[in-house]
């Protein structure tokens, strides 16, 4: 029997156990941004360590960091063979607003052939596919190379401790390639491999006017209102072509050549469905670029939240003292997040109108990434998808960010292959996050083929 028949057989014999085990992980509310979940972070790390050991690792451990712990595991079959390192993250985004969930976020359940829970896709469900694919290879003695696991707990907060962690553990993390499932595919019937991620600069701004909230009748019209001023400042950050107005913002943008843009245009991306899913009747972005290009190869600026003044019930007639906003910029390869932070801060201060003071604070950031399509691991992934989906996978650049991927390249000198099996409709970071069982099993089926072809490519 060939490997594909073997793996599909193994999946159908063990599918309920796989789900039960994944549910155990999904029940742990490992929200990295909240200190009240510190113990849950440890429980989730422990759970993954045990899963990796049970699946067949020789060794697994929890390594403390300055922030949340990392789970490391390995099976070294033959030191002369290549090393594939699997990366994933066990932390999740907060589940709020809870009232919008149809079933509680940390009580996973299956409805309509989908797993519903925070982390079902991002990234517990996706990382678990690797644990189960590894289990299959270990149990059937078909792991053709060495494997390492590095599962972090800080991805959703920008991986603040990971640069130091990677430097201190560079020897342990040494590998030939990194394999990651933490991205999405274009559609269920369009197998695709993510070849790019965007970087990120994320800041919070505070605009201060008078030293206290004032009576809006006695002062309105005579004193600068920080909420009005912040709104004007934000509005001026993009122009009529939806280009960012910060001086120097586009200086380092790596322009993508016509050939790759043409290839992107040929990708079977369904713009109408994209609009329908999010219920908007028009897409808006930088003039001269398609929606896929606007998220894949162009930088962008968004306000993530804005607040200030009175937002309680009814009306209160005040001229507020302060206004705030959280502003993020998605960056493309070759833009540097620290340079962009500096440009933003300088620009934001320069546009402050008279009568208000501005302070800014960098929250987190990370760099973009491009994955070469002529890499042996890319070719291996391509063959694996071809086998399990029965058609050619399409390379495409995603608009999302995974900050550690560029760190791996910088510190470990290793490229990452982004074999994501998520869908647009999985609602990651939103209420009712879900992951279709079909995608979960398809991932487990495709991953062992990657190993087979990768080792073949490396011979």
Contact 258, 250 (CB under 8 A): no
Residue 398 interaction partner, one of ligand BES, Mn ion, none, beta carbon < 5-8 Å per kind: ligand BES
Please name the residue that has the structure tokens 């996978």: 393
Closest CA to 405 of 420, 423, 418, 424: 418
In the complex, minimum distance from the CB of residue 40 to Mn ion, in angstroms, rounded to a whole number: 17
In the complex, minimum distance from the CB of residue 210 to Mn ion, in angstroms, rounded to a whole number: 39
In the complex, minimum distance from the CB of residue 254 to Mn ion, in angstroms, rounded to a whole number: 24
Contact 270, 306 (CB under 8 A): no
Task: Name 131's Cβ contacts closer than 8 Å, sequence gap at least 6.
Answer: 48, 51, 52, 55, 149
Task: Name 306's Cβ contacts closer than 8 Å, sequence gap at least 6.
Answer: 230, 231, 234, 323, 324, 325, 326
Q: Which of 295, 321, 371, 401 binds ligand BES (CB under 6 A)?
A: 401
In the complex, minimum distance from the CB of residue 444 to ligand BES, in angstroms, rounded to a whole number: 19
Binding pattern for the stretch 159-198 against ligand BES, x by CB under 6 A and - elsewhere: -----------------------xxx--------------
Please tell me whether residue 398 binds ligand BES under the rule CB under 6 A: yes
Supply the DSSP symbol for 424: G
In the complex, minimum distance from the CB of residue 371 to ligand BES, in angstroms, rounded to a whole number: 12
Q: Which of 21, 154, 182, 426 binds Mn ion (CB under 5 A)?
A: 182
Q: Which of 400, 436, 443, 448 binds ligand BES (CB under 6 A)?
A: 400
Q: Which of 160, 403, 436, 443 binds ligand BES (CB under 6 A)?
A: 403
Angstrom CA distances, 29 to 105, 268, 313, 424, stand at 9, 36, 32, 23
Residue 400 interaction partner, one of ligand BES, Mn ion, none, beta carbon < 5-8 Å per kind: ligand BES
Binding pattern for the stretch 353-392 against ligand BES, x by CB under 6 A and - elsewhere: -----------x-x--------------------------
CA distance 127 to 131: 7
Let me know how many helices (H) and strands (E) the chain has, helices first. 13, 18
Region 12-31 residues binding ligand BES, contact defined as CB under 6 A: none
Please tell me whether residue 293 binds ligand BES under the rule CB under 6 A: no
In the complex, minimum distance from the CB of residue 31 to Mn ion, in angstroms, rounded to a whole number: 12
Angstrom CA distances, 121 to 10, 69, 75, 174, 424, stand at 22, 21, 26, 27, 11
Whose Cβ is closer to ligand BES: residue 144's or residue 160's? 160
Please tell me whether residue 144 binds ligand BES under the rule CB under 6 A: no
Please tell me whether residue 122 binds ligand BES under the rule CB under 6 A: yes
DSSP output for 114-173: EEESTTTTTTHHHHHHHHHHHHHHHHTT---SEEEEEEES-GGGT-TTHHHHHHHTTTTT
Hey, how many other C-beta atoms are within 10 angstroms of the C-beta on 265?
Answer: 11
Please tell me whether residue 122 binds Mn ion under the rule CB under 5 A: yes
Residue 401 interaction partner, one of Mn ion, ligand BES, none, beta carbon < 5-8 Å per kind: ligand BES
Which residues are at the interface with Mn ion (CB under 5 A)? 122-123, 182
């Amino acid at each position: 029997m060939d490997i594909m028949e073997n793996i599909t057989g193994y999946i159908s014999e063990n599918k309920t156990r796989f789900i039960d085990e994944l549910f155990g992980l999904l029940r742990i509310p490992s929200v990295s941004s909240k200190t009240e979940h510190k113990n849950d972070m440890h429980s989730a790390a422990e759970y993954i360590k045990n899963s990796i050991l049970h699946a067949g690792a020789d060794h697994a451990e929890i390594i403390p960091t300055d922030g949340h712990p990392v789970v490391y595991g390995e099976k070294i079959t033959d030191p002369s063979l290549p090393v594939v390192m699997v990366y994933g993250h066990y932390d999740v985004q907060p589940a709020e607003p809870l009232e919008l969930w149809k079933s509680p976020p940390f009580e996973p359940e299956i409805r309509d052939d989908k797993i519903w829970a925070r982390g079902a896709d991002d990234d517990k469900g996706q990382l678990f596919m690797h644990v189960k694919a590894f289990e299959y290879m270990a149990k059937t003695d078909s792991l053709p190379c060495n494997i390492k696991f590095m599962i972090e707990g800080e991805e959703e907060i920008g991986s603040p401790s990971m640069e130091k962690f990677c430097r201190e553990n560079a020897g342990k993390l040494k590998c030939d390639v990194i394999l990651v499932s933490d991205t999405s595919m274009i559609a269920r019937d369009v197998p695709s491999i993510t070849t790019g991620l965007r970087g990120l600069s994320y800041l919070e701004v505070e605009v201060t006017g008078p030293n206290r909230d004032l009576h809006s009748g006695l002062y309105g019209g005579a004193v600068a209102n920080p909420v009005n001023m912040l709104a004007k400042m934000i509005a001026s950050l993009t122009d009529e072509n939806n280009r960012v107005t910060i001086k120097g913002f586009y200086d380092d943008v790596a322009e993508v050549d016509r050939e790759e843009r043409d290839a992107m245009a040929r990708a079977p991306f369904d713009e109408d469905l994209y609009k329908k899913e999010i219920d908007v009747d028009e897409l808006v972005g930088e003039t001269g670029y398609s929606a896929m290009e606007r998220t894949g190869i162009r930088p962008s600026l968004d306000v993530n939240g804005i607040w200030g003044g009175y937002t309680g019930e009814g009306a209160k007639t005040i001229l507020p003292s302060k206004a705030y906003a959280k502003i993020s910029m998605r960056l493309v390869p070759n833009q540097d997040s620290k340079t962009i932070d500096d440009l933003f801060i300088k620009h934001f201060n320069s546009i402050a109108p008279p009568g208000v003071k501005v302070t800014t604070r960098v929250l987190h950031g990370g760099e973009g990434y491009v994955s070469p399509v002529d890499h042996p691991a890319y070719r291996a992934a391509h063959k694996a998808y071809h086998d399990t989906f029965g058609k050619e996978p399409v390379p495409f650049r995603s608009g999302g960010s995974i900050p550690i991927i560029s760190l791996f390249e910088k510190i470990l000198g290793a490229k990452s292959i982004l074999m994501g099996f998520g869908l647009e409709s999985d609602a990651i970071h939103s209420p009712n996050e879900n992951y279709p069982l079909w995608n979960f099993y398809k991932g487990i089926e495709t991953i062992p083929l990657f190993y087979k072809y990768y080792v073949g490519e490396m011979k």
